[in-house]
Each structure stands twice: as C-alpha cells, then as structure tokens.
A and B are shown apart, each in its own frame.
Chain A
Amino acid sequence: MKTLKIFITLFAIMAFADVNAQKATKEELSIKVSSQCSMCKETIEKALAFEKGIVEAELDLETDIVKVVYKSGKTTPEKIRKAISDVGYDADDVPANKEAYNNLPDCCKKPEDQQHDHSGHKH
C-alpha cells in the first residue's frame, strides 16, 4: 500500500501543477505564422497546448494568425514564438527551425519548397 500512496501522490502533484499555474494573469497575443493547411493548424495548436503557461491557442487559416492566451508569469511571447518555430513554422520575425521545417509533411511546407516526386510511378 505504501507504493500505492506514492503513485497517488505523484499523480496529485501532476494535477496540482496545472491548477497552481492559474494564479498568474492571463494575456493575449497574436502571432503571424507560416501555416499552409488544416494539418498545420493541428500541429501548431497541439504544440502550443503542451507548452507551459499556455491556456488557449487557435489558428485562423484564412489569416494565418494564431491567437494565444497565456499566463504572463509562466511564459513570454518569445518563448511562445520559439515553440512555434520549434515545430517548423515562422512566427512573426522568428524563422522556423530548419530541421523541424524539413521534417514537415510536404503539404505543410511553403509552396516554393513543395516537391512533386513521383519517380517510379507511371503517369
């Protein structure tokens, strides 16, 4: 039973870490990103969902602007832009992390970089 208590305590800490964070003040931020398709929307919103201090993030594909609600004590606009860059997208003036960008599915790349490789198939 001792081990069980340790398990429960660990989980309680994990849950509490989330609740505790809500004391900081909430701020809003709009970031222009280099998104191309609905798949990019998923990638960016998901990446931000797992960033510390971010309450909400929604990307509008018409305008390519992601609206972020974050807690000022927990993160900064720089960190948020970096998080977007880290998954392969430009965020305002922060360019996309090169390696992450290269690993994006082709449809998420900028139109000039999209390849049409069909070698080996008959057309």
Chain B
Amino acid sequence: MNYKNFLLLCGIFIHSITGLYAQKPVSGKVSEKSPEGRLIPLPFANIHWLGTQEGTVANESGRFELKRSSSGENRLVVSYVGYINDTISVRQNQNSVDIVLQPGSELGQVEVKERMAGSFISTLKPIKTEVITTAGLQKLACCNLSESFENNATVDVGYSDAVTGARQIQMLGLAGIYSQLMVENIPFTRGLGSAFGLTYIPGTWMESIQISKGTSSVVNGYESTTGQINAELRKPWNSEKFFLNLYASHEGRLEANAHASKVLKDDVLSTLVLAHASTHLGRIDMNKDGFLDQPLSRQFNISNRWSYEKHGVTESKFGFNFLIDERESGQLTKLSSSDAINNGNYVVNIKTRRAQLYDKTGFVFNSIPNTSLGLIFSGLYHEQESVFGRNEYNARQLGFYGNAIFQSQIGNENHIYNAGVSFMYDDYRESFADTTFDRIESVPGVFAQYTYSPGEKLNIIAGIRMDHHNKFGTFVTPRFHFKVNLFENTVLRGSAGKGYRSASVLAENSGMLVSARQLVFVEDFKMEEAWNLGVNLTQTIALSEKRNLVLSADYYRTDFQNQLIIDLDQGYDRILIYNLNGKSYSNSFQINADMGVFEGFDITAAYRLNDVRVTTAGELRERPLVSRHKGLFTMSYATRFEKWKFDFTSQYNGRARLPLGVPHLEHAGYGEYSPGYFTIHSQITRKFKKWDAYLGVENLTNFMQHHPVLQPESPFETGFDAGMIWGPLMGRLFYAGIRYSIK
C-alpha cells in the first residue's frame, strides 16, 4: 500500500510442537528477518504475559523459557527497542513459539501464519485483505492473473467477448475497471491495458495476490471504487536460482516460464529475470459456428527486476517489463489469416507492444521512529494495432506515474500519518474506424492520511486527497476505514469512501468492437464518480491446535453519482454511450467459511448475492450480463510436505439478465435471462525433490454458452454480435505440466 510493503515481508511464525503436558513452560526464540529471508536472532528481547509482571528476557541467541502465567493469561507480549511490539496468543497445548519481530516502521501489517493455506484472510490489517499465496496460485497451474481467481468468491472472471480472448474481472458485480489492479503497488492496467492486462502477468511470476473490497487507501490514488487487487511478483533476493515451468493443454496451448535470480552482493544487490513465452496453436470450434473459440496467439514477455538495499537507510526496487502479444481470431477455422481476409471472412488481428519501467525507492530516517519517504515512478509505452472485421482500431498510450509518500509519527507509534503528492500523465492516440479519440490526461494530486492504532484492538484510518484533472477539474476523495476486535477472535471492519475514474471506453469494452452494432456517442463523457460503503465481520473459531474455522460476512454498497453507461438495451443494432441519467448502484452480500477439516485437508464454501441495477433505456433495470447468485465450494488435500496435492473447485453462477430487444438471443432459445450453470476445476500435483508435476482439468462438466456469436453467418451485417457473453466459452480442457527449480 505504500513504503511499508516494500519493507521486509514480516510475520510471526508459530511453530507448535504438541507437548505431553499442557502446563509445560513456553519456550521460544525471537528473531528478525533479514532482507533475503534469513532469520537472525534478536538477543535480550523482553517477553511477558499481557497485563502481568510475569516475564523474562531472552538470552544472547534470542531463546527464552517462561512459565505459564498464574493468571491464566495466554497472550505473550514481545518487545524490543527499535522493533514493533508483538502480542501473540499461546494455546494451552502449545509449548514453543518462534517470534519474528518487524523493524519499527508500520503497524497492522503483521500476519499470523501456520501451515500456509492457499488463501487466507489477514486478521490484522485494518482493511480486510484476502491473500492468495503461492500455494494458492499453484492450485490453478494455468496460466496468468486472469485464471488466479477461480477458487475465490470475491473476484469473478469472465470473457469480454467471444472472439478476442480478452478477460475481464468483476468485483461487487461491477466491471473490473472500477477496481484498481496494481502490480507491486504500481497501477498496472489503466487505459489501454484494460482489455488484455490480466493476461500480461504470467501465473508463475506472482508470489501472492492481495484482494481488498471497497475503497482502499488514498495513498494509491482516487480510483479503486469497488476494491483493489495487488499482485506481488517474485523477489530478486529470495527467489530460486533457476525455475522452469512447462505447460501444455490438450487444445494446443503451450507455455514456458523461466526465472533466474542472482544475489550479486549479500544483503545489498540482487536481480531476477522472469521470462514467459506462450502460444495457442489449436484451431478449436466446438460449437461449429465457424468462429474460433479461442484466438490463435503468441506472447513473449520478459521482466528484469533489481533490488538494492543499504540496510536501515535506503531500499530501491527497479526494473522493466517488455511484452509482445499477437492474436488472430474470427472465421479462421480452416484458413490462414491473410487467406481468410481475401476470402471475405471476418477476422480479428491484434498486435500489442508494451514496455514499462519502474523504480520504487524508500529512505528510512532513523532520527524519528516510523519515519520514511517512499518514491514510486513508472513509465509506460503501450501500442496496439488491430483490425476487427472491416474496422481498424489503433491506439497508443504514453504514460507516467509518480507518487511520493512521506510517513512519520505524531508523538508515538499510535499516531502515524502519511502525506504526499502524486502525478499521473497519459497521452492517448486512439482511432476506431474513422473516429479519433486523441487526448491527454494530466492529474496532479496531494493526499494525507492518518492512522490511529492505540493497540491491537482498534485501528482507524482517515484519509483525504485532492486531485486536479486537466479535463474534469478539481475533485476531492475522502476515505475512512476502521477495524475493531470486538472479541478476541471477532473482527469488525468498515469502510466508506469515494472513487473516481476517467474512462477509456474503447479499450475497456472490447465487446463493442466485435459487433455490428452502431456505436452512438450521445455526449461528452464526464468523470465517473461513486460512493462505496461496506462492513465486514470475521470470526475465527479454533477447532484444535492447528485447525481453524474462519467465518466471514460482508456487505458493500456502491452508488454512482455519474457513470459512463454502455446501453445495450436500445435495440440490437446499436449501443448508446452516455453519462448516467438516473440511478446506478450495486449491493453485494457475501458469506464465506474456510475450515481446516484435518491436517492437510481444507474446505471453503461461499455464497454471494449481487443486486446490481442501472438505468438504461430510461428505466432502472438489472445490469445486463451480471449474475445475481454465486456459490463456491473448494476442497484441498495435501499429504505431508505436500508430496501429493489434490485440489477441487466448483462454482455456481446464477442467471444473468440478457440485453433487451435482441431477436437472435430469443431465436437461440433464451428468454429474458441466461441459464445458471456449474463449473468444476480440479488438479493433482506431485512433488519430487527438485520438480513438481501437475495434471488438471478445467470446466469438467463441459458447460458452454451456446451461440456466443450471434448471427455468425453474416458478420458484416446488422445483427452480428460477439459481445453478449455470460458463460464459459471454452469446453472441458485437460492440461499437464512440470515445474523444476534449483534453490
């Protein structure tokens, strides 16, 4: 979220050894984590039972032994000058604790982990954050960020259209553009990256993904109305020396990922190269409509990351990414692209080049505790040349993002404030058919945020920012978050805030480009603007020493003051694009249960209700192509040391309203709504000494949306539409692959 995130990954690792006698003394070790992940003991740390005088001091190797508290208090406070105090609960039958303290910089960032589950809800962060770990990412071996959410109920992923292979996410029932997608806390898919950005981050490159619902901190900008997704990539200082992943699917997708890292100087300089190449060769047309189900594609993607550190003084992370992505699709089941075009077929051809440079530097000021300055810069070049049938769409974006964040405390560590300035600059050249959308967006901004955390039980964050957009003027973004531990294992959180964004309408709605509907731009766009409010409750129930049942429930409401409406309800031959005139809102309610059934076996069950309505064609209606009910069930079983791993995910997606006045949908047998459907994904992984092998299946029940392309026989005439997508476009898919690593 700011500088704290590129400080060390920190946490408390509690290693429990089941003792024979419950009242044995508690022994343990206090350490800190070095930048490359080694644990270094902290000698002479203070340890005492909360609220008592019963305590001890660790020895010179950080080890200690302490009798159980006579008061029955089970919370152990560990303190050490220059480090953040930690309070941890020690269970009756737990005799050993290993404690990792974090250098004094930030509160509320401590995560308690036992066996690394595939995903967990952090109970200590003030903003509710779901974390998908590396283990979770490996459960779905294919392929990139867009596939990482299959076993998560918070984020939905669907296809944008039936031709290009573009994926889009949804949070709270609203399109992914209303959430902020970041990579290492740098905005990633703004502007032209919206359509295919999710496929630009290969799965193996990621270390973890953090998902938070509702508005996030003002430090990261004014976007993120419905939520924030941050993907952390692998780190130069703790990655495998060499890693290789090879993947193949039975429909002809081949993929290779190779990583290599080197520590050039211990604790100071390290580098990592991530490389990805993939291709889709299979010409698949399961529904025999003459259109490929998946585009033929090639992607080459490389990233070089560097880390420099002067311990306790400065840290810098910098690097670049470069990507080439080419895809061809449409009526290409038999012919090559050029032959198909000569033949008068409908062909889509998209070539993308993208380069990004970034630098994040942090300075720690040792004179005042908790004081640091973080600077983030990133530069982007994104170019897309494409043909959609008989229309050309060409676009280019030159972007700059800069953010400077100062952090310090007022009096003591209970009062932390952040303040800073940011600047976003984007130069777009965009043309579709004979219309151009060239524009420059330049947005300087200032922000301030105050965090009050008087103890473990309460956190309050209040932030405000003011930005000036060169086209839309000055606007203010207030945001507020709180977290309160109602009881020891019950956490209540709430958030309220505003979000804004300016739309890149063509890039964000690729479905419009693969349709013969006429695009009618009714008026000039205004900035999109919405309020978001949410509450959530998380209850942890200890089932045994190592197993928990975590229940959570949340409710979020988003209310648009202005939204860019893509109105599909005014007849099958047109799309009207205009500013909201009436109401547009989303109510999203979700319950989640995660349970460790026995050692190695976890299950998750979730249900979500989205009530999303928008005013189109003059009336408030259900937002089209958004399903109202969703259910999720996952099972995961791993033998000891994860030698064998079995993962199973099933999803139910309820019916979605179909756009009005489309006779082809009626001819295809659909009424007002699409049918609801189940999907099943499953994977088996076998781990060996240096490599893993996996075999999996996606969409086992083989449910597919019939007629994803409307009127495929005459794609250049009114009625052709490949943008009405509510279900899976790919049938049952088997895949297998290996991962090889040298530590």
Give residues in A with beta carbon < 8 Å to B. 1, 3-4, 7-8, 10-11, 14-15, 37-39, 42, 45-46, 49-51, 61, 105-107, 111, 114-123
B279 CB, nearest partner CB in chain A, Å: 16
Closest chain B residue to A1 by CB distance? B250
Contact residues in B for A105 (Cβ distance below 8 Å): 38-39
Is B43's CB under 8 angstroms from A11's CB? no
**Residue B734 lies at the interface, judged by CB distance under 8 Å to chain A:** yes
**Residue B203 lies at the interface, judged by CB distance under 8 Å to chain A:** no
What would 28 A/B residue contacts be, using CB atoms closer than 8 Å?
A: A3-B250, A4-B734, A10-B695, A11-B693, A11-B695, A11-B736, A14-B686, A37-B98, A38-B98, A39-B15, A46-B641, A49-B643, A50-B641, A50-B687, A50-B688, A106-B38, A106-B39, A107-B61, A107-B98, A114-B41, A114-B61, A115-B40, A116-B40, A118-B40, A119-B312, A120-B311, A121-B83, A122-B82
Q: Interface code B606-642, partner A: CB below 8 Å = 1, 0 otherwise?
A: 0000000000000000000000000000000000110
- A10 touches which of B31, B42, B640, B693 (Cβ 8 Å): B693
A81 CB, nearest partner CB in chain B, Å: 16
Closest chain A residue to B689 by CB distance? A50
Contact residues in A for B686 (Cβ distance below 8 Å): 11, 14-15
**Residue B281 lies at the interface, judged by CB distance under 8 Å to chain A:** no
B626-666 residues with Cβ-Cβ distance < 8 A to A are 640-641, 643
**Residue B62 lies at the interface, judged by CB distance under 8 Å to chain A:** yes
Is B29's CB under 8 angstroms from A106's CB? no
Contact residues in A for B83 (Cβ distance below 8 Å): 121
**Known interface pairs A3-B734, A4-B250, A51-B689; A122-B684 also in contact (CB < 8 Å):** no
Closest chain B residue to A116 by CB distance? B43
Contact residues in B for A115 (Cβ distance below 8 Å): 40
Is B81's CB under 8 angstroms from A122's CB? yes
Q: Interface code B311-330, partner A: CB below 8 Å = 1, 0 otherwise?
A: 11100000000000000000
Contact residues in B for A118 (Cβ distance below 8 Å): 40, 42
**Residue B54 lies at the interface, judged by CB distance under 8 Å to chain A:** no
Most B CB contacts (10 A, CB to CB) among A1, A49, A107, A115 go to A107
B164 CB, nearest partner CB in chain A, Å: 26
Most B CB contacts (10 A, CB to CB) among A11, A15, A45 go to A11
B564 CB, nearest partner CB in chain A, Å: 44
CA distance A107 to B98 in the complex (A): 10
Is B643's CB under 8 angstroms from A50's CB? yes
CA distance A11 to B735 in the complex (A): 12
Is B61's CB under 8 angstroms from A111's CB? yes
**Known interface pairs A3-B734, A50-B643, A50-B687; A120-B38 also in contact (CB < 8 Å):** no
Contact residues in B for A50 (Cβ distance below 8 Å): 641, 643, 687-689
**Known interface pairs A11-B684, A49-B641, A107-B29; A117-B40 also in contact (CB < 8 Å):** yes
Is A116's CB under 8 angstroms from B60's CB? yes
B366 CB, nearest partner CB in chain A, Å: 7
B33-63 residues with Cβ-Cβ distance < 8 A to A are 38-43, 60-62
**Known interface pairs A10-B693, A50-B641; A38-B96 also in contact (CB < 8 Å):** yes
B658 CB, nearest partner CB in chain A, Å: 34
Contact residues in A for B640 (Cβ distance below 8 Å): 49
**Known interface pairs A50-B688, A111-B61, A116-B60; A39-B98 also in contact (CB < 8 Å):** yes
**Known interface pairs A38-B15, A106-B38, A114-B61; A123-B250 also in contact (CB < 8 Å):** no
**Residue B248 lies at the interface, judged by CB distance under 8 Å to chain A:** yes
B214 CB, nearest partner CB in chain A, Å: 36
Is A37's CB under 8 angstroms from B312's CB? no
Is A119's CB under 8 angstroms from B311's CB? yes
Most B CB contacts (10 A, CB to CB) among A39, A120, A121, A122 go to A121
Is A116's CB under 8 angstroms from B41's CB? yes
A70 CB, nearest partner CB in chain B, Å: 15
CA distance A21 to B103 in the complex (A): 49
CA distance A38 to B41 in the complex (A): 14
Contact residues in A for B41 (Cβ distance below 8 Å): 106-107, 114, 116
Is B103's CB under 8 angstroms from A121's CB? yes
* 16 other A-B residue contacts (CB within 8 Å) besides A39-B39, A118-B42: A3-B248, A11-B686, A38-B15, A42-B15, A49-B640, A50-B643, A105-B38, A106-B39, A106-B41, A107-B31, A107-B98, A114-B41, A118-B40, A119-B311, A121-B83, A121-B103
B651 CB, nearest partner CB in chain A, Å: 23
Closest chain B residue to A105 by CB distance? B39
Is A120's CB under 8 angstroms from B248's CB? no
A122 CB, nearest partner CB in chain B, Å: 5
**Residue B17 lies at the interface, judged by CB distance under 8 Å to chain A:** yes
Is B98's CB under 8 angstroms from A123's CB? no
Contact residues in A for B311 (Cβ distance below 8 Å): 119-120
CA distance A118 to B366 in the complex (A): 14
| Pairs A-B, 7 closest by C-beta atoms | A120-B312, A50-B689, A7-B736, A3-B250, A105-B39, A120-B311, A38-B15
Closest chain B residue to A46 by CB distance? B641
Q: Interface code B688-700, partner A: CB below 8 Å = 1, 0 otherwise?
A: 1100010100000
CA distance A52 to B96 in the complex (A): 32
CA distance A51 to B689 in the complex (A): 7
Contact residues in A for B82 (Cβ distance below 8 Å): 121-123
B248 CB, nearest partner CB in chain A, Å: 7
Most A CB contacts (10 A, CB to CB) among B83, B103, B250, B684 go to B250
Contact residues in A for B40 (Cβ distance below 8 Å): 106, 115-118
CA distance A4 to B15 in the complex (A): 42
B90 CB, nearest partner CB in chain A, Å: 15
CA distance A61 to B60 in the complex (A): 21
Contact residues in B for A122 (Cβ distance below 8 Å): 81-82, 366
Contact residues in A for B29 (Cβ distance below 8 Å): 37, 107
Contact residues in A for B60 (Cβ distance below 8 Å): 116
